[in-house]
Amino acid sequence: MRLLIKNVHAVDLDFEKDTDILIQDGKITQIREQIQEEADQIIDGTGLTAMPGLFDMHVHFRDPGQTHKEDILSGCRAALAGGVTGVLCMPNTNPPVDSPEILQYILEKSKSTGVSVYPVACITQGMNGENLTDFADLKSHGAACLSDDGRPVKNAELMRFALEKAKQENILIASHCEDLDIINGGIMHKGDISRQLGVKGMDRASEDSITAREIILASSVSGRIHICHVSTKGSIDIIREAKRLGVQVTCETAPHYFMFTHEKLLEKNANDRMNPPLREESDRIAIEQAVLDGTIDCIVTDHAPHAPEEKANFVHAPNGIVGLEPSFAATLTALYHTGKCSLQKIISLMSAKPREILNLPAVHLREQEKADLILADLNQEWEVIPEKLHSKSQNTAFRNRKLTGKVKYTITDGLIRYCEEN
């Protein structure tokens, strides 16, 4: 199979140029102007930009156990439609991912999707916070990371021991930083809007305190820690100082945290509720600045599908939103088209850096590299219509919002896995 992309604008971390790209047998064989080789299929790339495939290191595919919300196949379709060619899949399934058998199930089911699915295994058995899993065994069976995402490991000494053990096994721990006692039933950010709506709020201190704890614990064992879905100015300040001091800490955020605030909750739509929640304008500004100055290492979605009936009641609905399809366009809209951020920076945040953090193979637009890339119209405006998303669920905070930048093709292993026309 030979695929030729003509007249495309190619961008990677170290170059930007107009070119043709020839793909054969799953690899990029030529990147140069005026390629005259014959091909089985030709894509006219005029007006399009070629970039390395994106990587989302925080998704929930609900498989096994809650496949009415999402499954591995539907989640991967949504990923491809958003230009995401690799994902890190969180373990709070039913049952949780705490055994080689469940890891094998996920890996087998994802083989034919065209998306590289890397499963996360639990830190503790059953995610109950009491007994550690067998890190070495889980890693040998395909776990790419460890987390009890959805909740922190409550016991600090157990978490310290987990970080020490993870260092020995050379596997990353990712932490959901939230003190559940401080949350105490809160459903949105604690502030003026929660008081106005008469609902229980989630104080910033819940996130900030566990962020600080995890960094202190990681430092005490000279280990690594990854902080999930950062949403507060306080956590950013803590992480920035820890990095300055040489602590091995990385972190992520999602587009909704640098685009929206808790004022969005005035609509009383549960599709604007996620965990951690949308915060205040001072937090939004801090998150955006941390993305731009490098304190935040990568942009993720925390793609968390829920069925419409589960999201029907504002107060009682579970937290979480889907984000795989609008994430790239949202980031372009908020950061690139406003002149705040280069395309190379976005490639780092959404493709290169997450793979680097996880010690996964890099993906680049280079000759003899595997063909893992997207073609996008960076200037196409489109409206996010929930019913048209590829996910089984439609709970997006970007509903009916116009974004600029659209993935037109997603290619992995030299095959067109997604084409907008289909």
Tell me the C-alpha to C-alpha distance, in Å, between residue 86 and each of 54, 143, 156, 409: 7, 14, 32, 15
Measured in whole angstroms, the distance separating CA 175 from the mean position of its chain's CA atoms is: 14
281: burial class by Cβ within 10 Å (0-12, 13-18, 19+)? Answer: exposed
d(CA 369, CA 27): 6
- Amino acid at residue number 173: I
d(CA 176, CA 34): 49
Contact 302, 323 (CB under 8 A): yes
Close Cβ partners of 123 (under 8 Å, ≥ 6 residues apart): 132, 133, 146, 147, 148, 153, 159, 162, 173
- What b/e string do you get for 91-116 counting C-beta neighbours within 10 Å, with b at 16 or more? bbbeebbbbbebbebbeebbeebbbb
Q: Which of 135, 55, 305, 397 is nearest to 148 (CA)?
A: 135
Tell me the C-alpha to C-alpha distance, in Å, between residue 337 and each of 292, 307, 334, 416: 14, 33, 7, 27
Rounded to 5 degrees, φ, ψ at 334 are -80, -35
Radius of gyration of the chain (CA): 21
- Structure tokens of 62? 């609900």
Which ranges in 91-250 belong to alpha helices (H)? 100-110, 135-140, 156-169, 180-183, 192-197, 204-220, 233-244
Q: What is the DSSP string of 104-136?
A: HHHHHHHTTSSSEEEEEEPSBGGG-SSSB--HH
Which of helix, strand or coil describes residue 95?
A: coil
Which of 20, 98, 283, 302 is labelled catalytic? 302
Tell me the C-alpha to C-alpha distance, in Å, between residue 242 and each of 46, 172, 257, 288, 308: 45, 17, 21, 19, 41
302 as an active site residue: the answer is yes
Q: What is the DSSP string of 245-301?
A: TT-EEEEEE-HHHHH--GGGGGG--GGG--SSPP--HHHHHHHHHHHHHTSS-EE--
Catalytic residues: 302
